[in-house]
Amino acid sequence: MLLEDRTALITGAAGGIGAAIAQLFVENGARVMLADADFEQLQVVEKRLLEAGGDVHARQVDVTSERDVEDLITAVERALGRVDILVNSAGAISEAGVEAMTLDEWRRIMMCNLDAVFLTCRAVLPGMRRHGWGRIVNIASQIGQRGAPRFAHYAASKAGVIAFTKSLSREVAREGILVNAIAPGPVLTDFNKGLAPETLARTASMLPLGRSAIPSEIAGSALLLASSPHGDVFVGQTLGPNCGDVML
């Protein structure tokens, strides 16, 4: 029970990676607030975890809205007391060459992937500072480390998450708040359903492991970073469960 007596907020909890992290956190004793824009699917995840005996709550949220994020933190504190652990798993992806990409689409991906991380991190910091303890885990991507054709906007947003993680970790580590990131490689989830099938097939075939990951294989990295003492000396790091796509 590595997270016993801890409270976790997971954004993007209706998605494959977010839901897998929520399940593993519940199995390890955490109280969990599930947050996502897709409330119908979020309720499916909530029901499954409640049936498994978890102390779980769910709230619909637009993580690109400053007001929504502030209200979310208030709701967590009222329902569960505090936010010990924040996992930023909400995000968006699309595929387009730079020349054909609209400014609206560039901004949409930046808002969903980078602005949202800034807003949620900023919102939880006062509470974590009051308690002198916190763990923040930001879900980035291996594409943010190496780039990819037709994904310049997505790569830029995820590289921004990695740089933001490093900078924030230097601000708050001595206050007991550790900030780290996870940069998964391709993962078999509905997150990628809007991408071209040939893109997914080509990416998987080029991985040294020869296959994409499944969400439960990513969740363990989040548990490591969120737990103590196992995560106590990870500061500004980016873990890479990426099937060998990026080797650092």
Q: Which residues are catalytic?
A: 154
E-strand spans in 127-212? 134-139, 177-182
CA separation for the pair 155, 5 (Å, rounded) = 36
Q: List for the chain the helix, strand, coil content (%; round to 5).
A: 50, 15, 35
Gap between the terminal Cα atoms of the chain:
31
Omega before 229 within 30 of 0, i.e. cis: yes
Quickly list DSSP for 13-32: TTSHHHHHHHHHHHHTT-EE
